[in-house]
Chains A and B, each alone.
Chain A
């Protein structure tokens, strides 16, 4: 079965590995398989599930269809994001054990199944069915899909893990860029009124995503056990270096201070980014009275591009300057950029757009770089499972960020403030949030060897790490 060790890379040509087509053993790449055939499989999944960031396109049609206010419709998105975090956290070990193909298929069935169920809910005029479909079922697909290709890509690109994860996670940001205009076009095609076109639009999207995600699952391969890029040798660890020389299991990782420091780093970076994203359109209009709704939508588009580009550019840069240093940039320069918005934001539209664009590029970069940071700290053994557990920081930030910004803006408005002054206090609070993340990142040190797995031919650790290994992943 999938949890048993496979004769990876050896004898693959002489006999076919046993097991289901979906099992990890059946996905081991033959000698000479190009690693550049793997990123499109990861992108296929992330571009599809990135649709969730374009959910707002459905918001007004859903409100009109169900005859309700914004909050009951916003709950659909919130459920999906919470389920994403929970599925990633609790499904991470299952993902590592079963490999990327089975996980991608599961993700496709959950995510697209959720869209199909939601379309039925719309057709039956039952909002709770939409909660169940898009929120709960679809959210599980989001979580599994988000982490499914990460550890596979890291194993294929041990020399450039930041580039690899940046490529995939860029897809999650890019998914909204595709889904948003596509959804608008479909809503305008299937009926005269968008609220009457929701169900067929969801069915069309689900069908297209299902094909794309299953194609990705078919294409994905894991490298043979001892595979390395041609001409590459693992770098020697230097004294005091950040890269782990041994692996840490997911169970042990969450017992380390490093995991929780990185949790704080991700939480603060995401909270600060969401602070801008959540309020982007109204904020730019409050700062500049001449900005109309169409121009504000253009501003949201600029931020989306910066978010997507930052995922690839900054994560790739981290391969060169190091993970800890790139987070110094995200959090330190981000902090200065936030201060710049407060002090200089009203000076011109261009300055405001540049500063907020930088902040959003760091927001995306933080998401894309964290798997490589985890790989540096805990090794590649269970990096997908550890990443899944860390994504609970995203769920928490998804609640905290909007609550902080909206609460403070509402309070300022109630006290009579208006225009750019509405946002001064919330933005200064975000400066403080980033400062906390900056300190947390500065405190990250190499993992204590007692949490690590025994290295072959080396000394064994003094903790029950071997026991965790047997309970976790035995097949790599």
Chain B
């Protein structure tokens, strides 16, 4: 370093000219990391850490009151060979997802297509269809649903008016799951909004070109609309499926926390809750959580891998 007579500028220049690697890294990365600090703490403390710990716990018996005892693969073995409730909850959750997601998306797409014709009152209709998905996840709606579908509830009264004698939906194991599917499908408003936005993005000139070629409505749908919507369909399908697997509140409220009758409403998360907080079998519950994670990961990977065959990205 030279001398006496300096001015701030030249010192700064000098410093900048020969910066130490530390300082350079810090000036470059420092702000980024500082802003990310809350997220880092949360990510490691509330996400990564717990994921690893729950993996460990899944190999133990842990009742919160005493230290975890290592049991190896016992929990997993039990799950797949000696736990009828696990099989039941898997089946129930799969059925729920397999039926509610396509139905939800179908309704969402159909209504979005109709609304996209640019009719008067679009904002009102859109709001009306969207409202249920805002309210749907609440305890209040689940309580209402339980009452609507009871043996003497509104649904059966309505059916009676057209001469059908409805079953006791909620207390009959053959029908109880369908009340939950109907509740899920009722909330199609949120994917509908996304479809509407996706439809709006399709360039108008494609349709005009097709019109010139004399294409029918159906052809235009199949050849233009649907292919260009596939990214949105894909996105919606993944989000709705994952949401379906996480569903808890409606099943809990409608079955009174039991998953009955005969485990027909025993959603996977409800079963996990029962094991963890009802019986304090935290080790087993952790194993259940990991199986769920594996399934969702497999599903997501599968979806992404096969998406190239049917999803058209406009690049």
A joins B in a complex: no
Interface residues of A (CB under 8 A from B): none
